[in-house]
C-alpha cells in the first residue's frame, strides 16, 4: 500500500526531533576560532599581497597630503605664485562677522562710556551689500585713467597744431631710428614749454622728401623718458587765437608728408592721447598723407543734436525773429514764458484737477457722444 512508507517517514522524524532535544546545544561564538587580528587588517591583507599603502586604519586616521613632485629649481618654487596686482592689493576688504560687546563690558573697559539714549545718537552702519558703494573703500589704484583725453577737441585749428606736433615727434623718432622701439610705449604728454620746443622744429622739403631742422635730440629725449616718472605737468589747452597765430607761420606743404603703416599707427595713437579723437581703422588705412589724416580728424565731429548744429551756424543765430531751443517747446513752456502758468496751476488745484496729465480721469464725454462711442 502507498500509505505505509509515509507513516514510517513521520515516525522517524519524531524520533529524530526527540533525540535532538536531549543533546546540549553550544552557542555559535563558542564554535568560532578566536582571532586577535582586527577585521580591517584581515581585509587589507586579502586585498594587498605586500604592505598596504596609506595609514594603518583608513577609517579613523586621515592621510597626510603629499606635496607633488616638481621639476622646478628651489629658486622658482620659493617665488610667490600670486600676481603682482593681487600681492599689492590695498583695498579695504569687508570685515568678518563679529559679535558686538555688551554694555556692561564696554562700561568695564571704558569708564567714560555713556550709552545712547535716542536714535539720533546711534552711529548708522551701512549694510554689507553697500560696502563697495562707499568711495572711501576704493583707493587711487581703482581710479580709471584714460589713455586719451577725456574731452574731445573739436576746433580744426587746434587739431592742426596738435597734428603738427605729432608729425614732428614721429619724424624725430624716425630720424633717430627709435620709432619702432617707442611705438608701443606711452609717450609723456609734456608741458607747454615742451610743446613750444617741438613746434619750433621746422619741416623742410618738397615733393614728398621732408626733413627736420632744429633741436631734434631734445624732442627724442623727452619722448623716450618714462611717462609715469615724468615730472612735467600736462600742457594747458591752447586757445583758438593762439592756434590761429601759430598756423599762419607754417608752409602748407608740410601736409603733403606721406605716411605708411608705422607712421599711421604712431600718429593715430598720439593724436588720441592729445586730442581725444580716435581715428577708425577703416578711415586711417585710406589716408595717404598728413592732409588726409587732418581731414579725417575734422570729419569726426558730429553734433549731438539738431539744436547744437543750428547754434554752430552764425547765420541762424543772428536772425532777429529766430530762437533755437535745446528741446521741443510745449504749451506749458509758452505759458511759463508769458507768466500765466502760476495762475493756471492755482486754478487747477482749487478745482481738484490734475496740473499735468489726466490722473486716470475720463476723457471728453461730448467727443465720445459725437463719435457714437458712448
Domain span at 340: 308-357
For residues 238 and 336, membership in a common domain is answered with no
State the average pLDDT over residues 136-140: 81
**Choice among 9-18, 85-94, 101-110, 215-224 with the minimum mean pLDDT:** 9-18
- Kindly state whether residue 264 falls inside one of the protein's structural domains: yes
Using DSSP's 3-state secondary structure scheme, residue 285 falls into coil
For residues 192 and 294, membership in a common domain is answered with yes
279 close to 296: Cβ distance less than 8 angstroms: yes
For residues 176 and 234, membership in a common domain is answered with yes
Does residue 309 have a pLDDT over 70? Answer: yes
For residues 186 and 238, membership in a common domain is answered with yes
The reported pTM is: 0.53
Q: Mark which of 250, 281, 299 sits at the end of a domain.
A: 299
pLDDT band at 12 (very low <50, low <70, confident <90, very high): low
**Choice among 47-56, 230-239, 290-299, 302-311 with the minimum mean pLDDT:** 230-239
**How far from the centroid of its chain's Cα atoms is residue 121's Cα?**
39
Does residue 18 have a pLDDT over 70? Answer: no
CB atoms within 10 A of CB 284: 18
Does residue 1 have a pLDDT over 60? Answer: no
For residues 335 and 201, membership in a common domain is answered with no
- Kindly state whether residue 84 falls inside one of the protein's structural domains: no
324-338 pLDDT per residue, tens: 888 889 999 999 999
Does residue 359 have a pLDDT over 80? Answer: no
Average pLDDT, the chain: 79
For residues 171 and 290, membership in a common domain is answered with yes
What is the residue whose three cell numbers read 592721447?
A: 273
Residues 136-144: contacts with CB within 8 Å, 24+ apart?
Answer: 137/91, 137/92, 138/91, 139/90, 139/91, 141/88, 141/90, 142/91
The secondary element (H helix, E strand) that includes residue 172 is helix 156-175
193-208 pLDDT per residue, tens: 888 888 988 888 776 6
- Kindly state whether residue 192 falls inside one of the protein's structural domains: yes
For residues 188 and 295, membership in a common domain is answered with yes
- Kindly state whether residue 174 falls inside one of the protein's structural domains: yes
Q: Mark which of 251, 281, 299 sits at the end of a domain.
A: 299
260-306 pLDDT per residue, tens: 999 999 999 999 999 888 998 888 888 999 999 998 887 656 667 88
Q: Mark which of 299, 319, 345 sits at the end of a domain.
A: 299
For residues 185 and 273, membership in a common domain is answered with yes
pLDDT at position 270 is: 92
**Choice among 64-73, 93-102, 185-194, 253-262 with the minimum mean pLDDT:** 64-73
Task: Work out how many domains the chain is built from and give that number.
Answer: 2
For residues 273 and 225, membership in a common domain is answered with yes
For residues 235 and 323, membership in a common domain is answered with no
- Kindly state whether residue 256 falls inside one of the protein's structural domains: yes
- Kindly state whether residue 319 falls inside one of the protein's structural domains: yes
- Kindly state whether residue 199 falls inside one of the protein's structural domains: yes
pLDDT at position 91 is: 74
pLDDT at position 110 is: 85
For residues 172 and 220, membership in a common domain is answered with yes
- Kindly state whether residue 17 falls inside one of the protein's structural domains: no
For residues 186 and 247, membership in a common domain is answered with yes
Amino acid at each position: 500500500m502507498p500509505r505505509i512508507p509515509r507513516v514510517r517517514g513521520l515516525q522517524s522524524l519524531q524520533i529524530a526531533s526527540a533525540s535532538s532535544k536531549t543533546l546540549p546545544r553550544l552557542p555559535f561564538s563558542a564554535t568560532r576560532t578566536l582571532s586577535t587580528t582586527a577585521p580591517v587588517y584581515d581585509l587589507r591583507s586579502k586585498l594587498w599581497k605586500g604592505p598596504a599603502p596609506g595609514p594603518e586604519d583608513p577609517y579613523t586616521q586621515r592621510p597626510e597630503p603629499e606635496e607633488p613632485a616638481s621639476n622646478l629649481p628651489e629658486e622658482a618654487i620659493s617665488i610667490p605664485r600670486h600676481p603682482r596686482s593681487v600681492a599689492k592689493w590695498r583695498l579695504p576688504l569687508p570685515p568678518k562677522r563679529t559679535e558686538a560687546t555688551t554694555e556692561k563690558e564696554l562700561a568695564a573697559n571704558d569708564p567714560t562710556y555713556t550709552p545712547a539714549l535716542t536714535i539720533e545718537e546711534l552711529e548708522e552702519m551701512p549694510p554689507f551689500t553697500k560696502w563697495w558703494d562707499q568711495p572711501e573703500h576704493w583707493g587711487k589704484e581703482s581710479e580709471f585713467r584714460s589713455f586719451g583725453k577725456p574731452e574731445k577737441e573739436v576746433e580744426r585749428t587746434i587739431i592742426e597744431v596738435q597734428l603738427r606736433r605729432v608729425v614732428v615727434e614721429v619724424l624725430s623718432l624716425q630720424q633717430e631710428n627709435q620709432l619702432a622701439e617707442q611705438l608701443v610705449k606711452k609717450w609723456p604728454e609734456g608741458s607747454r614749454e615742451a610743446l613750444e620746443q617741438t613746434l619750433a622744429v621746422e619741416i623742410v622739403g618738397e615733393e614728398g622728401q621732408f626733413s627736420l631742422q632744429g633741436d631734434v635730440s631734445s624732442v627724442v629725449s623727452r619722448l623716450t623718458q618714462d611717462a609715469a616718472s615724468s615730472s612735467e605737468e600736462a600742457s594747458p589747452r591752447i586757445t583758438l587765437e593762439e592756434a590761429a597765430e601759430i598756423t599762419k607761420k607754417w608752409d602748407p606743404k608740410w601736409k603733403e608728408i606721406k605716411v605708411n603703416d608705422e607712421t599711421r599707427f604712431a600718429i593715430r595713437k598720439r593724436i588720441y592721447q592729445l586730442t581725444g579723437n580716435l581715428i577708425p581703422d577703416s578711415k586711417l588705412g585710406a589716408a595717404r598723407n598728413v592732409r588726409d589724416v587732418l581731414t579725417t580728424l575734422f570729419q569726426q565731429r558730429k553734433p549731438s543734436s539738431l539744436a547744437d548744429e543750428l547754434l554752430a551756424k552764425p547765420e541762424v543765430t543772428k536772425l532777429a525773429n529766430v530762437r533755437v531751443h535745446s528741446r521741443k517747446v510745449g504749451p506749458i513752456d509758452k505759458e511759463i514764458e508769458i507768466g500765466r502758468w502760476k495762475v493756471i496751476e492755482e486754478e487747477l488745484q482749487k478745482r481738484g484737477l490734475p496740473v499735468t496729465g489726466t490722473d486716470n480721469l475720463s476723457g471728453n464725454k461730448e467727443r465720445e457722444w459725437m463719435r457714437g462711442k458712448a
